[in-house]
Copies of this chain bind each other. A is one copy, B any other.
Amino acid sequence: MKIPPVKGTRDFYPPEMARRNWIIDGWKSVSIRNGFEEYDGPIFEYLKMYQVKSGDEIVEQLFSLQDRGGRDLAIRPEITPTLARMVNQQINALPRPIKWFSVPRLCRAERPQKGRLREFFQWNIDIIGIDSPEADAEVIFTSLDYLRRVGLTAADVRAKISSRRLLASVLRGLGIDEGGLDAMYALLDKKAKLPADTFDALLAEQVPDKGQAARISDFMALDSIDEIQRVVALDDEIRAAIEQMQNVFATLELMGVADYCVFDPTIVRGLAYYTGVVFEIHDIVGELRAICGGGRYDNLLRDFGGPAIPATGMGMGDCVLEILLHQKGLLDSQVPPRRLEFFVACADGALAKAMYAVAARLRACGRSANFSYKLGGLSKQLKEASAQNAGRCIIIGQEYLDKQELIVKDMASGEQTQIHVDRFLSELGTT
């Protein structure tokens, strides 16, 4: 019986696994150097966790299931609700700010397409307990710190920054009532992804008043904070939202990544829970989906039954990132090849016992070591050693029987030395 894999999932054979590990190890090390601590939650939660604030798109894409007691569960499509639940559970014990990161495996029942799979890994960083714009800037900086580390320059990627708070104030000023805001966010979030005609038609449907629709479109076309200050009727809320954004940009400048960053009012984000600065990082060419996105979500912890505590964060999936790195030649050139320290070979099958023993002793010393089960000729074993990218080959031959000496062959230089097994192992020490 032959059963295929489920469409939209990936098999990670050792070469793909090495790429995935390289990406995830980079995320982890950049998180740690930026002062974040790692957490994780369960792969599934109660279904209603995702029906609270995640927005319609996420809810439609849930993989839901039931436990044996008939309770409705869902595989996590994002980790932020879990984060909110976990922080709320220990809110009085956790020192603030809470700077946490995670690399959850997530599942969404989407139609598989380029850069979008039904199962993926997503780097998440969040700062909870700080309402100052510097925290938003630190989230954006950390995302860029990773992208810069893997070799993506300001000529490759752009962080596009806007503000839900600004957008909300502007929309209110243009006569959109409070109850209509979520639907407007969902629509405006699609602006950059849709052909202009399609977007205009959808906007006309949602905002029948042509003048009002035109003013919304005009705002979405502004391309600097200065222009907003010139064009938009400023009230205190808009002024405050602009000042927040300006502080974010100023901090990003201090942190040395201003060249990656622009203001872009079309950045809205699909998730319903954002309340302040929002951002996405895109490839400059603009042919891929967002590499990452995030923003401030000051009400989410309260919405999950906790206190009102400000928060800001970001998520970066592995699919789009991997496509971009591959396009730029930054993937296979940086993923380290498999490397084996020692390959233990024996000149003849009668010496296999010594081969097992020496391999086991090398491993106990903390060294990676392999051997061949085939017990073919020495040249075949050396070929297998090369195929496994072994640094050195230990050859067990007559010298071992005579005086317990090994031949140690450096696979790069071909140089051979002969040494007593105990001396060799004691010189290796333990790692």
Chain A 101-116: CB-based contact to B (< 8 A → 1; otherwise 0): 0000101010000000
Q: Which among A2, A44, A303, A387 has the greatest number of chain B C-beta atoms within 10 A? A: A44
Q: In the complex, what's the smallest C-beta–C-beta distance from A394 to chain B, in angstroms?
A: 13
Interface stretch among A235-243, A363-371, A406-414? Answer: A363-371
Mostly, the A contact residues are: mixed
- Minimum CB–CB distance for A296 against chain B, Å: 14
Interface residues contributed by chain A, number (CB under 8 Å): 95
Q: Is A27 an interface residue (CB 8 A)?
A: no
- In the complex, per-residue mask of A92-104: 1 if CB is within 8 Å of any chain B CB, else 0: 0001010110000
Which among B3, B39, B137 is the interface contact of A45 at CB below 8 angstroms?
B3
Interface residue A338 (Cβ < 8 Å from any Cβ of B): yes
Is there contact, CB below 8 Å, between B105 and A5? no
User: Does A219 have its Cβ within 8 Å of any Cβ on chain B?
Assistant: no
Residues of B within 8 A of A14 (CB): 37-39, 100
Taking a contact as CB atoms under 8 Å apart, the answer to whether A37 and B338 are in contact is yes
- Inside 8 A of A388's CB, which chain B residues have their CB? 35
Q: Please report A residues at the B interface, Cβ cutoff 8 Å.
A: 1-6, 9-14, 17-18, 20-21, 30, 32-35, 37-46, 48-49, 52, 63-65, 67-68, 71, 73, 75, 82, 85-86, 88-90, 95, 97, 99-100, 105, 107, 109, 118-119, 130, 132, 134-135, 137, 141, 145, 148, 251, 254-257, 303-306, 338, 340, 352-353, 356-357, 359-364, 366-371, 373, 387-388
